[in-house]
Structures are given as C-alpha cells and as structure tokens.
Amino acid sequence: MIINHPLLGPCDAQEFIYKGDARLIDRPDGMIEGAEAAFFDYAYLRDNPAGQHRELWFHEQGDRSWLVVTRNTVTHEITHVELARDVARKSGQSA
Amino acid sequence: MPYSGFRVIKEALSGHKGWTPAWRDPEPKPHYDIIIIGGGGHGLATAYYLAKEFSQHKIAVIEKGWIGGGNVGRNTTIIRSNYLLDGNEPFYEFSLRLWEGLEQDFNYNAMVSQRGILNLIHSDAQRDAYIRRGNAMLLNGADAELLSVEQVRREYPFLNFEDARFPIKGGLAQRRGGTVRHDAVAWGYARGADSRGVDIIQNCEVTGFRIENGQCKGVETSRGFIGAAKVGVAVAGNSSRVMAQAGMRLPIESHVLQAFVSEGLKPVLPGVITFGAGHFYCSQSDKGGLVFGGDIDGYNSYAQRGNLPVVEDVIEGGMALFPGLGRVRLLRMWGGVMDMSMDGSPIIDRTHIDGLYFNGGWCYGGFKATPASGWCFAHLLATDTPHPTATAYRFDRFEKGRMIDEKGMGAQPNLH
C-alpha cells in the first residue's frame, strides 16, 4: 500500500506504524461524570467496519508525523490522507 | 451408515454406487430451539456437541456461503496446547484431548497426526520463559519437554543452528501437538451433526436479528425470517459486522493473516517447528507441501488477501531458520480474516440480550480450539452456564481488568 503523505508525497506503508481507528484522537475527559465507562469504551470497543475506515498511521521511519488515513478495509484502497494534527485541532483536541 | 474400512471394500466391489451425500440440504424451518450462525469449524462443532453431548433438538446451522469456506479452510492446520496463562491452558488442553479422540467420535478421517510441535529457543532469557511455560503446561496436565540443542539437532539436523544473530539454543517440545486435515474437520462435524438431525442451511445470510423487549426472537435472513429460542453467533472474522446488527460494539478488530504452501516434497520435516526469534512456523502436509505462515499484516482488513511486505517478512524468517527453504518453489498463498481481540484471547459468553450468545475473538489461534470451542459454546447454550475450562472468556473481562494477555501487549490488537 502507498500512503500519499500530505507533506512528503507517496510513501510505502512499511515506513509507518499502524495504530487503529482514528477515533482514538477523541480521548475522553478523565474528570467528567461517567469517565470510567467512557474510557472503557475508548480503550476497548471498536466499530471495526467493512468498508471506509479512518485510521491512525505513524510515520516512524519518515518525518514522525501522525496521519489520519481513510482506507477501505475490503479493497485496501486509500482515498484520503490528512495530518492527524489538523484533525485534532478541528475537533478541539489540540491547541 | 458409518464409514469403515469394510465399507470401502464393499463399495469398491459394487461400483461405488452406495455412497450418499454426507449431509442433507434442507429448507429452513420457521422455528428452531437453537440457531447457530456460521457454518465454520466452531459453528458446526457447536451444533454437533449440542446434539450429541447435550441432548438438544431442533438445531440449525446457518451459513452465508458454503460450510468450511472461511477460516477452517484457510489455516495452517496446527494443533497444540502450549499456553501459559490459567485462563487459557486448561481450555486448550481440553481441546487437544478432544482432538485425540475426534475421529472415532465423529466417524470421519480427519487425519489427526500427533507429530509434535517444537518451539525453538534462541537466547537464555527465552529459555527461562519457555521453562516457565512448560511448567505451566505440566501443571495443567499437558505434556511438555525441554530439549537441549543436541536433541534438537538429532531431530531437525537441517536447521540453521549457527546463525550469527539467532543461534538455536534448544527447544520446548509438545509431543502431543501436531496437524489435522482442516477441511475434514468441518466435514466430519457437519456429517455428525446432520446425522443427529441438525439442519445445515447453506447460502443463507443473516441480515438482522429480531429483538423484542431485550429478547432475541430469531434472525432475519436472505431466505426469510427464522425464529429461535436461542441464537449462537460463531462467525470469527466477521464478528463485528454480525453483532453490529444486534447493536453491539465488540473489543475486536478484523485483521488479515497470510499463509503459504510450497510444491510437494518428499518427507523432510517430521513435525511442526516455530522460529523463536521471528514470526515463522512450518509443517509438512501429508501431500508433501511445506505449510507455513507468520504474522498478521497489522492493519484492519476484511480482504482475505494480504500485501507483499509480510510475505517478505515471513520468507526472511523462514530462510533464517531453515535455509533449505530457499530452493523450494511456492505453490500457493492466501489470506484469512482474524477476529483480533484486545487481549489476544477469545470470548465465549452470553450477551446483554436474552437468548443471544457469542463465540469469537479467536485471533489466529482458532483452528486448534475448534473441538473445545464447540463443546464449551454448546455447554453455554444448553445450560446457560460456562464450561469449567471457559469461565475466563467473558465479555466483561476488559471492563473488570481481568484480561488474559498471553503476550502482555495491552489493548493493541495488531500486536497480539
């Protein structure tokens, strides 16, 4: 698989470490009411869809950026790549 | 009519006209006592033991394609019970004992071959870890034997003992481990279940559950609604997709695992060997092909095919251990979809919906578990209590912090 890095251009997926579902960016607030249940959900449960999947890849052997890759889990086709930093800022998870 | 050597001779003399299909192809009835979703090894074994050991009646197995077309037809056929943790080892030892009597039990030649499995040791730390594992196995009634490098050399003289980076220092052997003809396991269970009245319904895909007031009343399928008092799901690989139809999210990711078989060779590899310094395991089938595999590709996938980097990784591991492999031509390679759970161990449990039961999360250890998985799931479905060897395989173990994490990797499914 080739991941089209937004800054570096096409890179072999072997340069990356796979983390999983991009919803891991949305870490719950540990101080809220019901934080225990929210963290159980966050740490252990997954949608695991067959089809479009937004997922985190870490460019360990490159620029060490985190990417959010939209990939089809049935065909392995990658349709969209963005910097995880931008995704996190948009959702208010990062300054 | 039972299969036997006598019957083969009798049929040979009468032109083989007396053989009949090994199982029926029935139309679905409107209602069953128990429906098993998934006509793979685990689902068929569950139906077989429900009928045979737990005296249940009116059972159906529903399969979206053909029986045995998923992971029971896609594995590397290895059986063993060399686990470390208390939650796992009694269950896998129970499974190995069932393998030992399986062919007589279901009257089908599954070619169970206890040729032994050998986990190779490459460092002092690994020897310590394997001694501990071997002791855990012995404590649970399994067999385990620590081999010196000289003993390994006598049995497997062609391995790369003097590798500069990963020299072989010995091994942990389980002599009762081995291989089984995988398709025959599905066929044997199917025939045994069918002959006890189980309806095996192929080409029937489940499209939803009918749940009323927290009670599962049956399943919607591509061939209409089928009612049931109890529904058991055994669809590892597709667990998340099926259970999503009941509104559940699971502690599981689906990943692709590749396997390989070489051209047929004369007998060269007497048992199953596993490389301790990389991910590579290999045995030789009775047809002569070297059957081998390695690690999962590592990203979510339902594709039943993998990519080349892992192919390279597996072959590198093979070459490091077994240099003669380089002269062998690869015949076939394929992929299967694994339920990778959050701690690397399976789930056999009730759900929060009455009458809906779940069996899955087998990671890449499902084949060896087939008989015990079927037995324990049948026990749960018939009695509503877990089998004594499967009490740890609960849904709530993640919430309660009672993980069964053989590798100690945490909630990162692609590392188990």
Side-chain-side CA neighbours of B99 within 13 Å: the count stands at 29
Q: Do B399 and A40 touch (CB under 8 A)?
A: yes
Residues of B in contact with A68 (CB under 8 A): none
Residue that the structure tokens 């390695």 belong to: B294
* Residue B257 near residue B335, CB atoms below 8 Å: yes
Q: Do A18 and B298 touch (CB under 8 A)?
A: yes
H-helix or E-strand containing B389? none
CA distances from residue B205 to A59, B37, B100, B222, B239 in whole angstroms, order as listed: 40, 9, 33, 5, 14
CA distances from residue B183 to B40, B70, B212, B225, B239 in whole angstroms, order as listed: 10, 10, 38, 30, 21
The CATH number, out of the four listed (3.40.1110.10, 3.30.465.10, 3.30.2270.10, 3.40.1280.10), of the domain defined by the range A8-25+35-90? 3.30.2270.10
Of B255, B258, B254, B256, the closest CA to residue B318 belongs to B258
Looking at residue A94, its pLDDT comes to 76
Q: What is the pLDDT of residues B312-347, one digit of tens each?
A: 999 999 999 999 999 999 999 999 999 999 999 999
Q: Longest C-alpha distance within chain B, in Å?
A: 66
Q: What is the pLDDT of residues A16-73, one digit of tens each?
A: 999 999 999 999 999 999 999 999 999 999 999 999 999 999 999 999 999 999 999 9
Name the CA dihedral angle for A43, A18, B233, B92, rounded to a multiple of 10 degrees.
-90
Residues of A in contact with B309 (CB under 8 A): 13-14
ipTM, interface predicted TM-score of the complex: 0.96
Mean pLDDT of chain B: 97
CATH homologous superfamily for B109-179+253-341?
D-Amino Acid Oxidase, subunit A, domain 2 (3.30.9.10)
Q: What is the mean pLDDT of residues B44-65?
A: 98
DSSP B66: -
Residue B297 pLDDT grade (very low, low, confident, very high; cuts 50, 70, 90): very high
Residue B362 pLDDT grade (very low, low, confident, very high; cuts 50, 70, 90): very high
Residues of A in contact with B316 (CB under 8 A): none
Q: What is the pLDDT of residues B214-248, one digit of tens each?
A: 999 999 999 999 999 999 999 999 999 999 999 99
Domain ranges of chain A: 8-25+35-90
d(CA B392, CA B61): 26
Q: What is the pLDDT of residues B163-221, one digit of tens each?
A: 999 999 999 999 999 999 999 999 999 999 999 999 999 999 999 999 999 999 999 99
Question: Looking at the predicted structure, is the pLDDT value of residue A92 above 90?
Answer: no
Closest chain B residue to the Cα of A75, Cα to Cα = B303
Looking at residue B115, its pLDDT comes to 97
The letter for the amino acid at B4 is S
Looking at residue A91, its pLDDT comes to 87
Residues of A in contact with B404 (CB under 8 A): none
Sign of dihedral through CA atoms B393, B394, B395, B397? negative
Of B238, B241, B252, the CB nearest to A46: B252
Residue A93 pLDDT grade (very low, low, confident, very high; cuts 50, 70, 90): confident
Percent above pLDDT 70 for chain B: 100
Q: What is the pLDDT of residues B92-107, one digit of tens each?
A: 999 999 999 999 999 9
User: Which top CATH class is B25-77+182-251+343-415?
Assistant: alpha beta
Helices (H) and strands (E) in chain B, counts: 10, 18
List all residues 6 or more positions away from B367 whose beta carbon is below 8 Å from its beta carbon. B41, B71, B72, B75, B76, B77, B78, B79, B180, B182, B185
Question: Looking at the predicted structure, is the pLDDT value of residue A81 above 90?
Answer: yes
Instruction: Tokens for A25, please give them.
Output: 């960016």
d(CA B109, CA B7): 14
Domain ranges of chain B: 25-77+182-251+343-415, 109-179+253-341
Residues in chain A: 95
